Amino acid sequence: SSLGLFQVRLVMKAHSFIRENVPRVLSSVKDKSGTLHIPRISQYLYFLFAPTLIYRDNYPRNPTIRWGYVATKFAQVLGSLFYAYYIFVRLCIPQFRNSSQETFNLRGLVLCIFNSILPGVLILFLVFFAFLHCWLNAFAEMLRFADRMFYK
């Protein structure tokens, strides 16, 4: 599943890269100008790791990396993982532990589902916070990526 998400991310980034650069190349070929502006490999590699899906040749950059901020964000990711583990162990696993030994009935299934809604929502919020906020902000800081308007 994570490999699939990684592949979707790469396809989206490749689409953005091609969409931004093909018109420039075609217009310079049509004009028969001697200068052909092709992005450097370093610009493409930076784009692959930057937390954005819109390709630009240059992004706004911070002058320094705040390593304390990076450590804080990674600590929050780790804390979110431990909290998700705690939710699974305390709230999810006990709901389904006895269901394999009992005969199937609709009442038991509905109770398991309703008792799993709150832990599921909590885990959804944890995934949102850990990945989309902490993980991406940590990598943005390490890459000195200055445009942090993720939620707009």
d(CA 147, CA 127): 22
Q: Contact 17/47 with Cβ under 8 angstroms?
A: yes
pLDDT in tens, 120-131: 999 999 999 999
- Please indicate, yes or no, whether the overall pTM of this predicted structure exceeds 0.85: no
**CA 82 to centroid of chain Cα atoms:** 19
pLDDT in tens, 64-95: 999 999 999 999 999 999 999 999 899 888 87
